[in-house]
Structure 1
């Protein structure tokens, strides 16, 4: 289950209802899918064949299509990242700078863990959303943020897009951000 860490106050927010309420106040969508419906052999597997990727997408097809229908997403794919990913550190550098998009950034975590760092309202500042299998998040367009892996450096996530070109980031310079 997702947890929030507010950087300015060191406050932690736990529990699905509390997390959902906080993220709602920051205009960030949070949902939870059932990660247990993924076959056991794929629940902790981070290097996937094309057939296994198709199996993950098929397992969550109803959830994906429901979210896509409600929010206007047109295409989706599966991203897998782990130490086995070629040039992982280079790839993470691309993700690990504050940026915005002209559409929502959506991730549905099916295995592993990841973290979104998001710029909240002025009274909140930056906060971390620590995600694990089953967590679904949608960061609104134009909201400064970035995504990275947690210490385990392993994740499998469904990405949904409105724009068929996929992930396009726009750098956001912010002197208030400190790693």
Structure 2
């Protein structure tokens, strides 16, 4: 279940209803998918074959298609990151740059943990700590970035409007301070 940490105050928001209410107030879509649908063999596997990625997409096909129909997404894929990922340090450096996109950035976490750091005009930056089953969509043109948590392992379904995926527009924001 997702948790929120508001960086300026260190306030924490927990519980599905409270997290959803907070994210709704920030125009961030938050949903939760049934992680029990995923076969046990894939729940803690972070190096995936193309066949295993296809199995994840097949498992959540109804949820993906429902979300795509509601939000206009055209394509989707599965990303898997861990210390076994080639060039993981370079990828993380690239991920950990505040940026925006001209479309929503959406992820459905199916294994591991990740964190979105998102800027609110009213509150400054806040962290959304995500676990398996959490689905989040950061609105277009919102300062944010995504990275791994301490376990450095994640598998996520990503949905896109554009066939080439999200294009990041880096933002030099003096209000952002690394935690």
Whether the 8 Å CA contact 2:107–2:136 is kept in 1: the answer is yes
Q: Distance in 2 between matches of 1:159 and 1:167?
A: 10
Q: Distance in 2 between matches of 1:116 and 1:148?
A: 7
TM-score between both structures, scaled by the size of structure 2: 0.98
Q: Gapped runs of 5+ residues in structure 2?
A: none
What is the aligned partner in structure 1 of residue 149 from structure 2?
150
SS of aligned partner of 2:128: strand
Q: Distance in 2 between matches of 1:112 and 1:121?
A: 29
What is the aligned partner in structure 1 of residue 84 from structure 2?
84
SS of aligned partner of 1:177: coil
Root-mean-square deviation (CA), in Å? Answer: 0.5
Q: Gapped runs of 5+ residues in structure 1?
A: none
C-alpha deviation, 1:121, in angstroms: 2.4
What is the aligned partner in structure 2 of residue 139 from structure 1?
138
C-alpha deviation, 1:167, in angstroms: 2.4
Q: Distance in 2 between matches of 1:94 and 1:159?
A: 17
Aligned length, in residue pairs: 178
What is the aligned partner in structure 1 of residue 36 from structure 2?
36
Matches within 5 A, 1:111-130: 111-122=111-122, 124-130=123-129
What is the aligned partner in structure 2 of residue 63 from structure 1?
63
CA deviations 1:142-169 (Å, max 9, x no partner) are: 0000000000000000000011111210
TM-score between both structures, scaled by the size of structure 1: 0.98
